Every structure is written in C-alpha cells, then in structure tokens.
Amino acid sequence: MPCWRSALLCSMFPSDNKACSRLEETRLSEETVYQGVLLRVRRDRVRLPDGSESAREYIEHSGAAVILAFLENGDLLFERQFRYPLHRIFLELPAGKVDAGETPEEAARRELLEETGYTAEKWRSLGVLHPCIGYSNERIDVFAAHGLRQAAAQNLDRGEFLEVFPLAMPTVQEKILAGEITDGKTLAALYFATLRAL
Amino acid sequence: MPCWRSALLCSMFPSDNKACSRLEETRLSEETVYQGVLLRVRRDRVRLPDGSESAREYIEHSGAAVILAFLENGDLLFERQFRYPLHRIFLELPAGKVDAGETPEEAARRELLEETGYTAEKWRSLGVLHPCIGYSNERIDVFAAHGLRQAAAQNLDRGEFLEVFPLAMPTVQEKILAGEITDGKTLAALYFATLRAL
C-alpha cells in the first residue's frame, strides 16, 4: 500500500520512516453526514494498516487561536464563559475560531480585541496544539501577546457572553491544582508558556 | 430567570455567585441530530442570558482517561498512533474511552494494559481536563501510574493500531518545543505532572 501523504508523515519521523506504512489509514471514500449551524461531521471509509476496512467520523473545523495576553504586571487576561456542552462556567484564555481568509495571528488579534478590548504591540507564536485528535481536525495556534493597551470596549459576537479579568500566574497555578481551570487549550497553552519560561 | 443547576454553577464561584445568572444558557429543548458509529451529535435550543434564543450543537461523549505511566528510570510510556482526522501520526500518552459501567480509574488500568501490556502498582489521580469545551462534553481524567510491570502483550481493539515506546522527560520537552508533540490531552496531562512536580 502506498504511503498516503508519505512525505509529510515520514518527514516527521526520520528515525523511523516505516512507521507510516505500519500505522496509516488510507481514505477510500468521503461523505458529509451532518451539516449543522455550528458543526459539520464527516464520515470516511478507510483502509486500515491490516488491509481491512472501517469508518472514521470526525468534526471538520476551520481552526482556532488562543492567546496568552500578558498585562504589564505579568498577570494574564482570563475569561469566564458559560460552555453549554458541559453546562458550566469555565475559566479560560481568550480564544476564537479562525475566519475564512484569516491567518491564525490575524484571528488572534481580532479575537483579543473583540473579547477583551485590548490590542497588543508584540505577538509571538508559541506553537500549535490539536485539542481533540480522536474526532476533530481542529488545530489551535497559541500566541503570546505583550505590550497590551485597552483600545476599545468588548465587542462580542451575537450570542456570545463572557467576562474578562486578570489572574496572576501563581493564582492560575493554584486554580489548576484546585481543579478550577480544566479547559484543555488553556492548560496546553500555559504549558507552552512554562516551557518557554514566559 | 432561574439559575439552572445553580448549586453547581454558583458553588464554583463563591466570590462571584451572580456570574451564573449573567452568563448561563438554559435548555429549552433537545434533539439528537446525528447518531453515527462513533459520534453522537446533539442540538439543543437554548435561552441566552439576554433572553434571546439560539441553538447549541455538541458531541456527546462518555469520557476518557489518560495515563502518565512512569517507568522505573523516570521515562514515560508514549504511543505513536495515526489519527485519521488529521491524517498524521501523533505522539501521545496512553489513553482511551471510559466504557459503560467503568470508573475512570478502571478505564485507565484497562487501557494501559490493552495498549501497552503494562500494569501499575500505584495509581494517582492528577485531575480532570475538558479537551473541547466549545463543542463536546468530553471529560478526561488524568492519572499517574508508578510501579509498572510488563504483564502481557499489547491487546488492541479491532481497528486500533499503535506503537509503544519510552521517552525521557527532557526529550518530551524538546519534542514539544520542536512542535512534534501537539496532542492537547498529552500537553495538559504533562502540565499537571509538572505543576505537581512529578
């Protein structure tokens, strides 16, 4: 069986360039099985590494950006937002979807301004994370923003309700250990910041 | 408007127990709009905090567990797995869904044995994360496992293909900084371990 997208797959594992052929699944056919107002679900027939066939279902997502927005005193901008799937308020970093035609950094700048009213002078890409590799193709670009300036009032999308507040990093860590911050993208973005000693 | 599940919501924010009424969305009706082989999508009509109505779509998920399995020398067990939604091999921690009737710790023990062949003497809960709060109700319980013993051969589910290997923590961190580990649950679980100085 040929290695689908073999250049990409194999280039990731130069020390083990046969992993792709032992593990990869190749597409036989594709279908959009649900198109809702927010979610699009795709189901593909695939050939598994042992030659058998199976189905793979997943959410098609346009990507998102999450922002570590550092105030001058080192505090981070956090948001309090009700997340309907879990029927709970979450503490999370500012974030939002990448719109058509936008780069992830443009989305990050737009979302920070819309959700918090802040602009930032310095933007730095910290990396990429994939929140839900089992059933979504979403990718989230992580940015650090420094040199914040309150430029406008919050300007939320219709149907969006959230509150913004600063949190000192020691408090952030206390809240994680207390189970009060459980949002995956927020945790992963904070880990990126920790590893880069931000 | 009454505060739906107000005890839960408000108990999380004792310092701001009006946040729930400013941010919460209340269910008006519910519907399963897609039931596939793997995914179930639900669409609810909701009332927003400003009194208007909207729709919320999300994946219904039974929950999962992820395991930081420490070998005696401090290395972590990692897996190499092709993830179809992103058409790529990922480096990730052992993990799997919680089956009906199982506790998250039972799922963690079962998945570690099935995916890697290892059992562990000591299990410790490190916390909970929510990988995808915008469109899934999945929760992932994070466990640390110490005192590993190779007890059996890998025993994978039908249609599951993955490879297991050890990684030293400095290598894990290098791979994160190099963009070679991007799986959200893996990053968040590693951050839990870092904050608890494991």
Mean pLDDT of chain A: 91
As a whole number, mean pLDDT of residues A85-104 equals 97
| Residue where one domain finishes, among candidates A25, A44, A60 | A60
ipTM computed for the complex: 0.92
Contact assignment for B20 to A188 by CB distance below 8 Å: no
Q: Is the pLDDT of residue B9 over 60?
A: no
Q: What is the pLDDT of residues B117-165, one digit of tens each?
A: 999 999 999 999 999 999 999 999 999 999 999 998 888 888 888 999 9
* A63 contact B CB<8A: no
Residue B191 covered by a domain: yes
Find the CATH number of the domain harbouring A110: 3.90.79.10
Residue B1 covered by a domain: no
- The pTM score is 0.92
| Residue where one domain finishes, among candidates B60, B81, B99 | B60
Interface of A with B in 89-108 (CB under 8 A): 89-90, 92
As a whole number, mean pLDDT of residues A67-75 equals 98
* B50 contact A CB<8A: yes
Identify all chain A residues contacting B53, using CB atoms and an 8 Å cutoff: none
Task: Give the pLDDT score at A14.
Answer: 45
Contact assignment for B12 to A88 by CB distance below 8 Å: yes
Q: Is the pLDDT of residue A30 over 60?
A: yes
For residues A46 and A85, membership in a common domain is answered with no
Task: Give the pLDDT score at A1.
Answer: 31
| Residue where one domain finishes, among candidates B20, B36, B60 | B60
Q: Is the pLDDT of residue A7 over 60?
A: no
For residues A38 and A73, membership in a common domain is answered with no
For residues B53 and B129, membership in a common domain is answered with no
For residues B91 and B41, membership in a common domain is answered with no
Q: How far A187 CA lies from chain B's nearest CA (Å)?
A: 5
Buried b (16+ CB within 10 A) or exposed e, A93-122: bbbbbbeeebebeebbbbbbbbbbbbebee
Q: How far B50 CA lies from chain A's nearest CA (Å)?
A: 9
Tally of domains in chain B: 2
Q: How far B155 CA lies from chain A's nearest CA (Å)?
A: 15
Contact assignment for A163 to B4 by CB distance below 8 Å: no
For residues A123 and A186, membership in a common domain is answered with yes
Task: Give the pLDDT score at A101.
Answer: 96
For residues A32 and A126, membership in a common domain is answered with no
For residues B44 and B76, membership in a common domain is answered with no
Identify all chain A residues contacting B133, using CB atoms and an 8 Å cutoff: 83, 85-86, 90, 92, 183-184
Q: Using pLDDT thresholds of 50, 70 and 90, give the confidence band for residue B16.
A: low
Identify all chain B residues contacting A38, using CB atoms and an 8 Å cutoff: 55-57, 135
Q: Is the pLDDT of residue B3 over 80?
A: no
For residues A90 and A188, membership in a common domain is answered with yes
For residues A164 and A102, membership in a common domain is answered with yes
* A5 contact B CB<8A: yes
For residues B104 and B162, membership in a common domain is answered with yes
Q: Is the pLDDT of residue B197 over 50?
A: yes
Task: Give the pLDDT score at A15.
Answer: 47
* A165 contact B CB<8A: no
Q: What is the pLDDT of residues B155-188, one digit of tens each?
A: 888 888 899 999 999 999 999 999 999 999 999 9
For residues A111 and A135, membership in a common domain is answered with yes
Q: Which of A63-67, A126-130, A164-168, B22-26 has the lowest mean pLDDT?
A: B22-26
Contact assignment for B37 to A46 by CB distance below 8 Å: no
Q: How far A10 CA lies from chain B's nearest CA (Å)?
A: 9
Residue A124 covered by a domain: yes
Distance of alpha carbon A141 from alpha carbon A65, whole angstroms: 5
* A48 contact B CB<8A: yes
Residue A105 covered by a domain: yes
DSSP sequence for B24-66: --EEEEEEEEEE-SS-EEEEEEEE-TTS-EEEEEEEE---EEE
Q: What is the pLDDT of residues B59-68, one digit of tens each?
A: 999 999 999 9
Q: Is the pLDDT of residue A69 over 60?
A: yes
Residue B189 covered by a domain: yes
Best interface-test mutation with B: which of A56, A97, A182, A198 has the largest number of B CBs within 10 A?
Answer: A182
Nearest to A34 among B34, B184, B185 (CB): B34
- What range defines the domain where residue A43 resides? 6-60
DSSP sequence for chain A: ---TTHHHHHHH-GGGTTHHHHH--EEEEEEEEEE-SS-EEEEEEEE-TTS-EEEEEEEE---EEEEEEB-TTS-EEEEEEEEGGGTEEEEE--EEEPPTT--HHHHHHHHHHHHHSEEEEEEEEEEEEBTTTTTB---EEEEEEEEEEE-S---PPTT--EEEEEE-HHHHHHHHHTTS--BHHHHHHHHHHHHTT-
For residues A35 and A79, membership in a common domain is answered with no
Query: Are residues B77 and B161 in contact, defined by beta-carbon separation less than 8 angstroms?
Result: no
Residue A1 covered by a domain: no
Backbone angles phi, psi at B196, to 5 degrees: -95, 10
Task: Give the pLDDT score at B6.
Answer: 40
